[in-house]
Amino acid sequence: MINLAAKDIKHSLSKFIITAAGVGMLLGIVLIMLGVYRGMISDGTSLINDIGADIWVVQEDTLGPFAESSRLHEDFKNTLRSLDGIDLSSAMTFQNLQLPHANGKMTRVFAVGYDPFGKMIPLNPKRIVEGRGLKHDHYEIVVSKKTGFALGERIPLGRDMYTVVGITEKTVSSGGDLLVYLSLKDAQKLQFLYSNARIRNDRARGIKGMDSHMINAVVATVRDGHTPDEVAAQIRRWKHKGVFTNEAQKEILTGNLIKMASKQIGMFTVILLIVSIVIIAMIIYNMTIEKIKEIAVMKLIGIPNKFIIKMIVQETLLLGVLAFVAGVGFAHLIYTKFPKNVVLLSEDAMRLFVVILVASLLASLFGAKKAIDADPTSAIGG
Amino acid sequence: MDTQQGIRVENLMKHFGEEETRVDVIDGASFTVNKGELVALVAPSGAGKTTLLMMIGCVTEPNGGKIWLGDEKVYDDGWLIKDTRSIRRKKIGFIFQAPYLIPFLNVIENITLLPQANGVPEKEANAKAMELLTYLDIADKAKMSGSQLSGGQNQRVAIARALANNPQIILADEPTAALDAERSVSVVQMLKKIAQEQGVAVIMVTHDETVLPYCDKIMEIVNKKVVMKDSLEDVKII
Ligand SMILES: Nc1ncnc2c1ncn2[C@@H]1O[C@H](COP(=O)(O)OP(=O)(O)O)[C@@H](O)[C@H]1O
Ligand SMILES: [Mg+2]
């Protein structure tokens, strides 16, 4: 039997391809949207994954440094070590900073402060693309490549000059800010010490200087034979601190910070998807209407419905598949051009493929119904 | 049983609309067309020629009466076959005022579509189509699309399409309306030849009196009934 779909598509090939490419771009944007969402999740949890802690100890009654201000004394890391279940522990700071460029422009970053000589290093060496990690207690900084700073460049922060000793890639905070790494001592100074002028002012007014031995969280790993939950419960009971397992900390991040954004992106994705499906349905409807006279002639001379429906379904499926392929191509072509991290997952693409296939089938039913309802005598009318 | 019977219609009725909007078009038509006969159907515009043809062709459902196609009774106050379309593709060849070719199929594909839908293998359908095209003197156009052919050539392709399923009946609705006088006569001669050679019963609607001499009989629709005439006399073409 002659393949009517192939003949019809060949007859209006350029139109068909342009249509598929157009729908494909829409599907490409859907994939990018999903990729932005995946990127947020991956960004949001990459720092926590790099730190690799089992337990997070934070200020009592707070959700920790990623949700609100959390302060505790640096000494607590030693107190913690006396516990049976704790293996390693380390104090860390987390804060937003403005890094001044030579040209006066500022870049907002999220700074992680850690002890370069400690056992738990939040800077994953795999992410270093130039230079090295921190080696000294003072005046070194490791920056994300996207901050625009060059290796060896000097950055004034607080009362000191810092030198860029390392450059990393794909290091972003859950809020989307680029990460920089400082030594714990430097970070404490920047977070808890005010400027000379402010200190003089405070002294004159009788306010005592701030204790700079504060930190934002203590991270720890648990020994074999202990579970994070059990150790966390112990700390909570005796030490009056907020304690989270790594999973709970991730949950706070994804729950508090990412959920809202993902809802927004989810809404966009759903709307775009609905628009794409409606457009596919409209295209199929139009393609059927354009051929309605030929369909009526075929019905009149006696061609069975199944041949006509097969033509419509095959054309729709081909359109859906072509549009999907174009969409994947388009997404891969443009995703690196987005300022935020876009992560394209093949499982998302497969899901979209299934949705498009189902939508195309439904759309073709729409067209098939139109064809079945067509009056054969309308072929010879007029 | 009359083995010569090609088409038989008895007391056929057709109206459109109901009550105030009701229009009776055919009201008690009875006639027989024998196999091998070419019968002209003449009547003024709007008299119901196309409607009558579409009822015989199992496209439009009558409101009463009986229809036989060959020996098979297909309508008796209701269709006797569920799938009227299968009757069309197996027994009937349709020719219209315009060719109505499928634009995305080339000439030979237009002709072989119906036989292939009937299950004829592609090779066999192609061979038969080439035979028809040769017979109609357009064999060299087989791979072309309809848009590359003249009006007359297109109409010949449409005739080939109507013949491709070896129909027992050909229903032609003003097949020569778009053709010049010379072409019209040659198309009618061709239909006559097919009727005679293959024993096909042909009804041809026409407004063209120059083609009437080639027809075996002439049917007129008078007062919503069909009047069969054996000679050209007292046939008035409007
Ligand atoms: N589907 C229809 N609905 C309503 N009226 C129709 C329909 N088809 C035909 N008619 C009417 O039936 C009459 C006969 O039409 P038709 O068979 O096309 O005439 P002819 O072919 O002789 O010119 C006309 O009055 C026409 O308006
Ligand atoms: Mg008519």
Q: Which of B12, B16, B205 to mutate to test the pocket of ligand 1 (most atoms within 8 A of CB)?
A: B16
pTM metric for this prediction: 0.80
Within a 10 A sphere around the Cβ of A15, how many other Cβ atoms? 12
Question: What is the Cα–Cα distance from A137 to A184, expressed in whole angstroms?
Answer: 8
Question: What is the Cα–Cα distance from A251 to A258, expressed in whole angstroms?
Answer: 10
Tokens for B17, please give them.
Answer: 């609309």
- Distance of CA B205 from the midpoint of ligand 2 (Å): 8
Question: Which residue from B187, B2, B166 is spatially nearest to B92, judged by alpha carbons?
Answer: B166
Question: Which residue from A332, A295, A328, A290 is spatially nearest to A310, judged by alpha carbons?
Answer: A295
Q: From chain B, pick out residues whose CB is under 8 angstroms from the CB of A4.
A: 104-105
Question: What is the Cα–Cα distance from B119 to B89, expressed in whole angstroms?
Answer: 11
> Any idea which residue has 């239909």 for tokens?
B191
Q: pLDDT, tens digit, for every residue of B152-195? A: 899 999 999 999 999 999 999 999 988 888 889 988 999 999 99
Cβ–Cβ under 8 Å, residues B66 and B73: yes
Average pLDDT over all residues of chain B: 93
Helix and strand numbers (H, E) in chain A are: 11, 12
Residue among B54, B104, B109 minimizing CB distance to A377: B54
Statement: residue B238 has pLDDT above 60: no
Q: Is the CB of B51 under 6 A from ligand 1?
A: yes
CB-CB under 8 Å, B114 with A380: no
Q: What is the pLDDT of residue A261?
A: 76
Tokens for A41, please give them.
Answer: 């999740």
Mean pLDDT for back-to-back runs of 10 residues, chain A (382 residues): 94 94 94 89 85 92 86 89 90 94 93 93 93 94 94 92 94 86 93 68 68 87 92 85 89 74 84 89 89 94 95 93 96 90 92 92 89 91 60
Q: Is the CB of B61 under 6 A from ligand 1?
A: no
Name the phi and psi angles at A311, rounded to 5.
-60, -45
DSSP per residue, B69-80: ETTEEEEESSBS
Tokens for B120, please give them.
Answer: 């004829």
Question: What is the Cα–Cα distance from B102 to A298, expressed in whole angstroms?
Answer: 8
Mean pLDDT of B135-164: 93
Q: What is the pLDDT of residue B182?
A: 86
Most B CBs within 10 Å: which of A301, A311, A312, as the mutation test of the B interface?
A301
Helix (H) or strand (E) holding A293: helix A292-301
Q: CA torsion sign, B207 to B210 to B214 to B218? A: positive
Q: What is the pLDDT of residue B180?
A: 86
Mean pLDDT of B89-93: 96
Nearest CA in chain A to B113: A2
Cβ–Cβ under 8 Å, residues A173 and A34: no
Q: For helices B107-117 and B122-135, what crossing angle results, to 10°?
A: 130
Name the phi and psi angles at A209, rounded to 5.
-65, 155
Name the phi and psi angles at A10, rounded to 5.
-60, -35
Statement: residue B1 has pLDDT above 60: no
CB-CB under 8 Å, A300 with B94: yes
Better-predicted residue by pLDDT, A239 or B55: B55
Question: What is the Cα–Cα distance from A89 to A336, expressed in whole angstroms?
Answer: 37
Q: Is the CB of B96 under 6 A from ligand 1?
A: no
Q: What is the pLDDT of residue B236?
A: 60
Question: Which residue from B42, B146, B159 is spatially nearest to B97, judged by alpha carbons?
Answer: B159
Q: Give the pLDDT band (50/70/90) at residue B224.
A: very high
- Distance of CA B51 from the midpoint of ligand 1 (Å): 6
ipTM: 0.94
Give CA A178 to chain center in angstroms: 13
Within a 10 A sphere around the Cβ of A123, how many other Cβ atoms? 22
Tell me if chain B has a CB within 8 Å of the CB of A3.
no
Q: Is the CB of B221 under 6 A from ligand 1?
A: no
Q: Is the CB of B21 under 6 A from ligand 1?
A: no
Name the phi and psi angles at A276, rounded to 5.
-60, -45
Question: What is the Cα–Cα distance from A309 to A88, expressed in whole angstroms?
Answer: 68
**Which residues face B67 on adjacent strands?**
B9, B75
B51 CA closest ligand 1 atom index: 17
Q: pLDDT, tens digit, for every residue of A228-259? A: 999 998 888 877 888 999 988 888 877 766 77
Partner B, chain A 337-376, Cβ-Cβ below 8 Å? 376
Q: What is the pLDDT of residue A213?
A: 84
Question: What is the Cα–Cα distance from A326 to A280, expressed in whole angstroms?
Answer: 14
Within a 10 A sphere around the Cβ of B86, how many other Cβ atoms? 15
Q: For helices A305-334 and A13-51, what crossing angle results, to 10°?
A: 50
Tokens for B237, please give them.
Answer: 């073409």
Nearest CA in chain B to A2: B113
Question: What is the Cα–Cα distance from A134 to A168, expressed in whole angstroms?
Answer: 12
Using alpha carbons, list the distances in angstroms from residue B203 to A269, B123, B165, B168, B234.
61, 31, 17, 12, 20
- Distance of CA B8 from the midpoint of ligand 1 (Å): 22
Tokens for B70, please give them.
Answer: 């060959």
Using alpha carbons, list the distances in angstroms from residue B36 to A2, A284, B238.
32, 45, 27
Domain B36-60+82-215 part of CATH 3.40.50.620:
no
Tokens for B182, please give them.
Answer: 């010379």
Statement: residue B150 has pLDDT above 60: yes
Burial of B172 (0-12, 13-18, 19+ CB in 10 A): buried
Q: From chain B, pick out residues whose CB is under 8 angstroms from the CB of A10.
A: 104
> B200: Cβ–Cβ under 8 A, 6 or more apart, which residues?
B6, B35, B36, B93, B167, B168, B169, B170, B194
Nearest CA in chain A to B87: A302
Burial of A249 (0-12, 13-18, 19+ CB in 10 A): buried
